[in-house]
C-alpha cells in the first residue's frame, strides 16, 4: 500500500479566516482500540532539544510536546491527560524560524508502560511531525556509497552531516492562530485539512473526537514549511463556502425538502474538495517506513517520490489499522527547494553517486550537475580540485 487511505472520514464545509481555510474531517464512528493524548515537557522543552536517533547521530529541533498512542483504547491518565492537553509552551523573543537539524533526552518513538506496568497497558510516546522530518533529513544521510574521486574527504567520512532545514512555528504563520481560535469544532470531528491561500498546508487526523478536542490547540505549535509562511504573508483572502438553493422548479415545499437540498449542497462541495483541493495528497504514491508495530496498528513515516512538475508534495507520519486506513495522520508541506534537494539526492543514490552517470540520467552536463549540487547546499561534499581537473580534461578532449 503506497497511498494515504482516509476511508471513514468525511469532509464538512470549510471555515475561512482571511487567507486560512480549515476543512473539518468527521468520522461516523471513532476508531476502536486506539487513543491519543499529549505529553508536555514544560520548561524542559527548549528551542533546540536534542534527540538520540540511535545510530550515532542526533536530531535537534524545537519540541514543545509529544503524543502518546494508547492502543488499549484508554484516553490516558484521566485528569492528567486533560491537564497536559490544556497546558502549552511558549517562546518569547525567539526568531520565527525554527532550526531542524539531524546531526538527549528521548528517542523519537519510545515505548511506555502504564501505571500497572503490564503489557495490556503499554503505550508509545512519539514526537509529532519530528518522525517525518527526521525521515526526510535522513535521506541518503550516509553520503556516497562509492568513494568516487569527485567527493571530498568530508563526504566520505561524515556523509551529509549535518543536514538542516528551516521551518516555521504555527504561531508565526499570519492568521493561523486566530483561525484556530475561532474555529467551530463539529460533532464527530477527528481531524482537519489546513489550507493557506487555498494551498494545502497540512493534514491532521486522530482516532477519536475527544482526542481532537484536546489536541486541536497543538496545531498552532506545529511546524510549517516556508512555502506556507510565504502564502500566509502574501496571499489574498480566500472565498468562503456558500450554498445557494434555487427553487426554480418548485422542488422545495417543506423543511424536509430544504434539509435534503442543503445536504446535497454539502455533498457536492465535499466531492469537489476531495477531487480537486486534496487530490495531490491522496493520489501520490509514497514510500513508507515502519517505525513501530502496535496491536492491530502500525506507526509509519513517509516521503513522496520527489517528482518534478509543480505538484504539491508532503512528508508525514501516520498510524494505520490492519486494513490500511489512517487512524492518525500528520503531514508537512515541502517547499520547491526541499523537493529539489530530495530529487537530487534520490538521483545521485540511484546512480551510485557517480556524477557522470547522474548527469546523463538527468539529461544535463557534468558541469551543470556540479552547479546544482552547490545550489542545493551540498557543495562542501565536492572535491573541487578533482572536479576542476575532470572539467579541464573534458574540455581538452
pLDDT digits (tens, 9 = 90+) for 140-149: 888 888 889 9
Residue 56 inside a domain? The answer is: yes
Residue 190 inside a domain? The answer is: yes
State how far the Cα of 379 lies from the Cα of 374, in Å rounded to an integer. 4
Residue 17 inside a domain? The answer is: yes
What pLDDT, on a 0 to 100 scale, did the predictor assign at position 53?
Answer: 60
C-alpha cell at 294: 502496535
User: What's the first-to-final CA gap in the chain, in angstroms?
Assistant: 49
What pLDDT, on a 0 to 100 scale, did the predictor assign at position 17?
Answer: 93
Select from 221, 211, 213 the least CA-distant residue to 71. 211
pLDDT in 10s for each residue of the chain, 397 residues: 799 999 999 998 889 999 999 999 999 999 998 998 887 665 444 444 556 666 666 767 767 677 888 876 554 443 333 333 322 333 333 334 555 665 534 456 666 655 555 444 567 888 888 888 888 988 888 888 888 999 998 888 888 877 888 888 898 999 999 999 999 999 999 999 999 999 999 999 999 999 999 999 999 988 898 889 899 988 888 888 776 777 655 677 788 888 888 888 877 777 777 767 788 899 999 999 999 888 889 999 999 999 887 789 999 999 999 999 999 999 999 999 999 999 999 999 999 999 999 999 999 999 999 999 999 999 989 999 998 988 888 777 5
Indicate whether 152 and 90 sit together in one domain: yes
Indicate whether 160 and 288 sit together in one domain: yes
Select from 294, 275, 80 the least CA-distant residue to 207. 294
Indicate whether 84 and 51 sit together in one domain: yes
What pLDDT, on a 0 to 100 scale, did the predictor assign at position 186?
Answer: 93
Q: What are phi and psi of 53, to 5 degrees?
A: -100, 5
Helix boundaries (H) for the chain: 79-86, 130-137, 153-158, 176-182, 209-215, 226-234, 255-272, 279-283, 336-350, 355-362, 366-375, 384-396
Residue 150 inside a domain? The answer is: yes
Indicate whether 287 and 368 sit together in one domain: no
Of the three residues 335, 366, 384, the one that is the final residue of a domain is 335
Indicate whether 97 and 163 sit together in one domain: yes
Indicate whether 199 and 111 sit together in one domain: yes
CA-based torsion, 99, 137, 315, 68: positive or negative: negative
The model scores a pTM over 0.75: yes
Number of domains in the chain: 2
pLDDT in tens, 295-304: 889 999 999 9
Residue 341 inside a domain? The answer is: no
Indicate whether 288 and 386 sit together in one domain: no
Indicate whether 374 and 330 sit together in one domain: no
Residue 1 inside a domain? The answer is: no
Q: Print the domain residue range for 385.
A: 354-396
Indicate whether 75 and 163 sit together in one domain: yes
Indicate whether 166 and 83 sit together in one domain: yes
C-alpha cell at 374: 552547490
What pLDDT, on a 0 to 100 scale, did the predictor assign at position 305?
Answer: 93
Q: What are phi and psi of 25, to 5 degrees?
A: -120, 125
Alpha carbons within 13 angstroms on the beta-carbon side of residue 371 total: 6
State how far the Cα of 88 lies from the Cα of 80, in Å rounded to an integer. 14
Amino acid at each position: 500500500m503506497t497511498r494515504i487511505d482516509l476511508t471513514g472520514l468525511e469532509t464538512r464545509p470549510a471555515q475561512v479566516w482571511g487567507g486560512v481555510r480549515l476543512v473539518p474531517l468527521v468520522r461516523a464512528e471513532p476508531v476502536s482500540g486506539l487513543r491519543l493524548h499529549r505529553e508536555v515537557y514544560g520548561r524542559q522543552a527548549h528551542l533546540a532539544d536534542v534527540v538520540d536517533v540511535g545510530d550515532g547521530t542526533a536530531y535537534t529541533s524545537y519540541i514543545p510536546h509529544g503524543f502518546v498512542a494508547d492502543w488499549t483504547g484508554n484516553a490516558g491518565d484521566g485528569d492528567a491527560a486533560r491537564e497536559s492537553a490544556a497546558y502549552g509552551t511558549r517562546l518569547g523573543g525567539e526568531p520565527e524560524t525554527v532550526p531542524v537539524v539531524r546531526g538527549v533526552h528521548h528517542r523519537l518513538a519510545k515505548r511506555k508502560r502504564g501505571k500497572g506496568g503490564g503489557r495490556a497497558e503499554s503505550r508509545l510516546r512519539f514526537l509529532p511531525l519530528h518522525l517525518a522530518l527526521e525521515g526526510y533529513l535522513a535521506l541518503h544521510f550516509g553520503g556516497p556509497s562509492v568513494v568516487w574521486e569527485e567527493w571530498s574527504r568530508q563526504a566520505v567520512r561524515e556523509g551529509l552531516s549535518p543536514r538542516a532545514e528551516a521551518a516555521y512555528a504555527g504561531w508565526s504563520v499570519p492568521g493561523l492562530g486566530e483561525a484556530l481560535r475561532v474555529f467551530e469544532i463539529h460533532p464527530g470531528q477527528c481531524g482537519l485539512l489546513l489550507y493557506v491561500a487555498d494551498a494545502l498546508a497540512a493534514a491532521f487526523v486522530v482516532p477519536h473526537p475527544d482526542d481532537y478536542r484536546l489536541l486541536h490547540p497543538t496545531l498552532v505549535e506545529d511546524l510549517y514549511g516556508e512555502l506556507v509562511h510565504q502564502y500566509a504573508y502574501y496571499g489574498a483572502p480566500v472565498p468562503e463556502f456558500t450554498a445557494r438553493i434555487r427553487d426554480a422548479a418548485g422542488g422545495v415545499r417543506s423543511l424536509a425538502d430544504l434539509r435534503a437540498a442543503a445536504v446535497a449542497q454539502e455533498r457536492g462541495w465535499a466531492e469537489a474538495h476531495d477531487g480537486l483541493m486534496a487530490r495531490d495528497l491522496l493520489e501520490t504514491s509514497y514510500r513508507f517506513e515502519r517505525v513501530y508495530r502496535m496491536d492491530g496498528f502500525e506507526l509509519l513515516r513517509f516521503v513522496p517520490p520527489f517528482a518534478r512538475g509543480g505538484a504539491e508534495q508532503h512528508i508525514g507520519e501516520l498510524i494505520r489499522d490492519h486494513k490500511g486506513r489512517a487512524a492518525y495522520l500528520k503531514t508537512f508541506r515541502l517547499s520547491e527547494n526541499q523537493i529539489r534537494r530530495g530529487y537530487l539526492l534520490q538521483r545521485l543514490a540511484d546512480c551510485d553517486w557517480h556524477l557522470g552517470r547522474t548527469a546523463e540520467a538527468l539529461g544535463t552536463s557534468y558541469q551543470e550537475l556540479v552547479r546544482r549540487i552547490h545550489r542545493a547546499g551540498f557543495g562542501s561534499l565536492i572535491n573541487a580540485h578533482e572536479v576542476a581537473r575532470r572539467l579541464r580534461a573534458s574540455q581538452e578532449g
